[in-house]
Each structure stands twice: as C-alpha cells, then as structure tokens.
A and B are shown apart, each in its own frame.
Chain A
Amino acid sequence: MSTSSSTNEVQSVVSELDKPLLTPIKRRSFFMYAGATAGATALVLAGCSKDDSSPGTIDVGSGDAGILNYAYALEQLEAAFYAQVKSTANGFYTNASAVEKQIFDDLAGHEAIHRDFLKAAISANGFTPLQDLKPDFSSITFTDRTSVLKAAQTFEDTGVAAYNGAGRFITNNAFLALAGKIVSVEARHAALIRDLVTYNSFVGSDIVNTFTQTAGAAPGTGTSSLTPDTNGTGNSGPGQERSKRPAAILSSVNNFLASGSKLSANSFM
C-alpha cells in the first residue's frame, strides 16, 4: 500500500464527518433527543462532586493524589470496621479469647495508623483528602465470631489486591515505597485471619493464582490454577496474588459504604 492511498483514506473519513447532517428528522424527535440529553446532563451534574464522576459517587480523583485517596478510603473503611469490632457492647464478639482480642487490638491499631498516616501524607503533599466516609456494616453481625472474621478476611484480602493493582498508576516512587510498606502488613493480617477462619487457608486459589510444581521436574515446571494473562489486565501469573484494578475493588467495597459515600475511580482504568 502506498502512502498516498492511505492519506486519501484518512482524508475521506475526515471529510465525511465534516459534512452537515442532511438526513431530515421529525421536529418532535429532535426535541425529545435534545430534552433527554439536557435532562441526563442535569442529573450527572447534580451527582458530581468532581470532574469525571459517575452519578451519585465520590470519585477518588486522578494522578498520585487519586491513588493516595483511594488507599485512604480503603484504610478509613478498615479502621472503622475494627473500631466497631472493639466497641461492640460485649467487647469484641461473643466469647472472644484473650489471644483474639490481642490480635484485633493490633489490627485496629495498624489500620488507624495507616488511615491517619495517609490523610497526613495527602495533605502534606498539597492534595485534598477525601471526606470522612460513612460505612455500611449492616451485613455484619458484630456479636458473631464467624461473621466478624469473614468480614475481616474480605477487607484484608481486598486491601492487598487493591494496593497491588494500584501500584502501576503511581508516578512518585516515594508513594510507591510507602504503599509497599503497608501492603505486606495487610497481607500478614489477611493470612492470619484466614488461618483463624480455616487453618492453612493463608493462601488459596480465591486470592492467589496457585501453582502446582510437577514432582521430579525442574523448579518452576508445573501448572497454574488460572491461565495467566501477561497483558496486565486479566489473571495474574503463577504463584501471584490476584491483584485487581480500582473499579473492580470499588464495586465490592461500595457494598460497605453508605449511600452518599460510595466511590468511583474513573481515572484509573
């Protein structure tokens, strides 16, 4: 193919678009379409608190500020959850052992520290922290050990997948380093909680693309439970945590946020 024919093709597409719309449409239809557009726009604007919001959600923003606020939002939720676990009328869930109370004291402390640190870091870098989010923990029975542990497992596993899936969007390596220091602690949390729910579930194919080494073969020879996708958009590689992008994380996290506090992350696709 020669350059001139491709140029002509490009030019022909452009000139098509430039032509006025000559196909007549009924006047009534025109106003219907125009009115619908205006109405939809009005609804979107009413629900927006920032540019690029989906209606009715708070967008975390863009750039490094957006990722820091995304992390801050997740830590807000975790800190609120553990604070509520500790404050339950009975003091933790029914029949909580001394060992488990100590564990939950640590979990609560770590997440509160993460939350407060991220808020301070966001402000110190000249960004605006997200508002205080209102959680919705109505699906959790705080007096029941299993309900509390399973919720804790969900929050921690989600946090690890979220941090790992967010790293690629960070441009300032100081922020990446700080995220790295936090995510391994979340993974330690997740593993212990999972071992408390079901011993030896500290890793599992629900959160790791587990690999089976072929006996007698060279190390690294074997099969993965999920087919890896090396384009960075599908399944992670063998032996790896199953990281997730912000949209996927928030669609499940929003189940624990009250109306008016639900989040979007439209800048990070």
Chain B
Amino acid sequence: MNVFELISELEKADPEFLDRTNPRRQVFKHLGNTGKKITAAAVPAVFASFFNKAYGQSSTLPAGVQAVLTLALQLEYLEYYFYDTALNTPGLIPSQEVAAIQLIRNDEAGHINSLRGISGFAAPTAPTRANFDYSGGSGSGTGPLAAALTAGGPNANGALFFASAQAFSDTGQRAYKGGAPILNTDATKNILEAALNIHSVEARHNSHFRTVRRAIAASTLGVATAPAVAPYDTAPKSWISGTDNGGPKAPDGSQPAKAVYGAGTPATGTPDASFPADDNTMQAGVNLTSGLGTTYTAAQVSEAFDEPLDAATVKSIARMFVTPTSGLFI
C-alpha cells in the first residue's frame, strides 16, 4: 500500500483528518513508533487502529481477549452473588467477619465495573442470582455444598461458607493466571495490567479466607494468629501447600473442590501453555527442590508458585455452580 497516497486521499475526503490524530508534524513520528516490530502482513492492522483513533471508534477486541474477559466477568458474578447472598442471610457470617466480607463483595463489584468498562469488550448480559446454584449441584440445589449458604448446622461460624469462598477464589485466580498470556498483545497492555491488578486482589481475599478457616478451626475468630494444621484441607496455610490434601471437605465427606487444586489440560509444556496441579515443584523444566543449589522442601517449593488453569477446566468446575439454562461457562 502506498501510505502517502492513502493519507493524501483521506485528506481530500476529510480535511480535518490529520488533525484528529496528531498535530501534523507528529503524524509520521506516531506511525514510526507503532512500527517497531511490524511485519508487512501486520501493517493493515496497524492502520486499522490508527484510523480508529482518528474516528473515535474503539476496535472490537480479538476473540481470544473477549473469551478471557467473558470468563473472568462470569466468575466475578459467581463470587459477587455468593458473598452478597451470605451477607443478606442473618447469622451466617460471624460478626467478626462481616466487615471483611463486605469489603470483598465490594471488590468483586469493582471488578465487574472494571471489566464491563473495558473499551471494545462486548460484555455478555449480566447474570442474575437465580442463575447460580452454590450447592454445587449444577442447578439441582442439592449439591454437597448446599449448607454453605444456610446459617448454623454444618456451617456453624460460617465454616462451609469460607470453605466454598476459598475454593471459588482459588478458581478465579487460576483462571486469571491462565488468561494473562492471551491478554498480552501490543494493543491490550492496559487490559493485561487491569487483569493482573484484579488477580492479586483475589489472592489477598483468598489469603484472608484461609486465615479465617484457621481461626474457625482453633475457635479464635477475629485474629490472624491461629495455626495451620496439616494436611491443610480444614485449617490451611494462607498459601496452597501441595494440593491442600484435595481442598475443603463437604459435610458428606466428599471434596468437591479437588479439581480446583488439580492439573488442567495440558498438564505439562511451556509455562504459558501448561497447567500443572498446585503441588507442582518443576518450573521452566527445573526441579526446584534440588536444582537451585540449595535444598528446598517440596512443600515450600509448591507454596512459592501458584499454578494457572486452562479455561476449559475452569469452566467445567464453574458449571457445577450454575443452572443448566444459565448460559454461563459455556
């Protein structure tokens, strides 16, 4: 394509064209900066976004980016309605933790606001509370975690609520980690940074849920000083140790969150395209217990890294918590 002819033609059609983009002298400097790693094939895409800037249209995001943001948004609604429902269920959340759950519910609302506000993101219609089945029963309402949103009984002190909260939050984090490389394009750096900033807040929430579960186990609600108790399914550390023995136990003795701490697909490969279980001790091909010059325990190595999860595995977990007609996590 003849760049100068193209711009000249545009100027004839729209005399204000060059002023819409940059002051005239800087037009070519702008083109030069975007051209750093451009191949010939990519030139039309560069010009597409250049002209979009001129005419105020935000370009639609690539399909891969749309998919990552859609999954993230749906997971945020899953969490939002879970915390919001609990806050509106008298006696469910211990008084020492009401303020924290309000903060967390508000953060999820902020994440929904953040994601919906991303320019070019065709956000799906907002789900309603009725789309979700927090019992883990895929819409039956009678799944193993049904008691997580009822006060008392197996949920005394909110024990099951915090167990589910931990599992949802760990799932969300693994999803954001899995999606980050897809968001890493030249045009979507701001989106990448927003996703990383949401991701770390989820990790903060998760750390607090684990701190509360230790406190519930030790009957010391309201302080962060209760001990973690191996094998960590009930009184976990604030970081995932191995697979936390398969995660929280439901009242029926099952572990519905096992997949949250397990491997995705594929389990091995390059760091950005492999999804090992959380007890992984290999990073970038090196076994870190022995390959770093100092001996480290498998537990500490597994704790030092949180693992991503592929979208398909995340969705298969999340589908247990929505009704069959919700249209979510497809």
Additional 6 contacts, C-beta under 8 A, given A173-B272, A239-B111: A167-B184, A174-B272, A208-B201, A211-B106, A238-B111, A239-B107
Cβ B283 vs Cβ A181 within 8 A: yes
Q: How far is the CA of A185 from the CA of B237 in the complex (A)?
A: 12
Q: Does A73 contact B (CB under 8 A)?
A: no
Q: Does A36 contact B (CB under 8 A)?
A: no
Q: Does A121 contact B (CB under 8 A)?
A: yes
Using Cβ atoms and an 8 Å threshold, which residues of chain B touch A168? 189-190, 192-193
Using A199-B224, A211-B106, A241-B200 as known contacts, say yes or no to A116 and B99 having CB atoms under 8 A apart.
Answer: no
Q: Which residue of B lies closest to A100 (CB)?
A: B225
Q: How many A-B contacts if CB must be within 8 Å?
A: 273
Cβ A240 vs Cβ B304 within 8 A: no
**Quick one: CB contact mask for A171-184 with B, threshold 8 Å, 1 for yes?**
00110111011111
Interface of B is mostly: helix
A-B contact pairs, 14 of them (CB 8 A): A6-B18, A9-B25, A98-B227, A184-B173, A184-B202, A187-B200, A202-B100, A202-B211, A203-B103, A230-B190, A238-B111, A240-B110, A241-B198, A243-B196
Q: Does A65 contact B (CB under 8 A)?
A: no
Using Cβ atoms and an 8 Å threshold, which residues of chain B touch A113? 288, 292, 296, 300-301, 304
Q: Does A10 contact B (CB under 8 A)?
A: yes
Cβ A176 vs Cβ B211 within 8 A: no
B contacts, CB < 8 Å to A: 8, 11, 15, 18, 24-25, 77, 80-81, 84, 99-100, 103-114, 116-117, 119, 126, 173, 176-177, 180-181, 184, 189-190, 192-194, 196-208, 211, 222-228, 237-239, 270-272, 283-284, 286, 288, 291-294, 296-297, 300-301, 303-308
A interface residues, how many (CB within 8 angstroms): 78
Among the listed stretches A126-134, A215-223, A261-269, which one makes contact with chain B, having 4 or more residues with CB under 8 Å of it? A215-223
Q: Does A195 contact B (CB under 8 A)?
A: yes
Using Cβ atoms and an 8 Å threshold, which residues of chain A touch B203? 183-185, 187-188, 191
Q: How far is the CA of A208 from the CA of B303 in the complex (A)?
A: 24
**Quick one: CB contact mask for A197-241 with B, threshold 8 Å, 1 for yes?**
001101100001111110000111110100010111000111111
Point out the residue from B114, B189, B200, B294 that lies within 8 Å of A160, measured CB to CB.
B200
Cβ B303 vs Cβ A102 within 8 A: no
Using Cβ atoms and an 8 Å threshold, which residues of chain B touch A242? 197
Q: How far is the CA of A167 from the CA of B189 in the complex (A)?
A: 8
Cβ B196 vs Cβ A232 within 8 A: no
Cβ B99 vs Cβ A165 within 8 A: no
Cβ B190 vs Cβ A177 within 8 A: no
Point out the residue from B11, B106, B181, B306 that lies within 8 Å of A176, measured CB to CB.
B181
**Of B104, B225, B237, which is in contact with the most chain A CB atoms at under 10 Å from its CB?**
B225
B236: min CB distance to chain A, Å:
11
Cβ A191 vs Cβ B207 within 8 A: yes
Q: Which residue of A lies closest to B15 (CB)?
A: A1
Q: Which residue of B lies closest to A190 (CB)?
A: B204
Point out the residue from B116, B117, B201 that lies within 8 Å of A203, measured CB to CB.
B201
Using Cβ atoms and an 8 Å threshold, which residues of chain A touch B192? 167-168
Point out the residue from A117, A188, A200 that lies within 8 Å of B238, measured CB to CB.
A188
Point out the residue from B173, B196, B207, B271 that lies within 8 Å of A167, measured CB to CB.
B196
A2: min CB distance to chain B, Å:
8
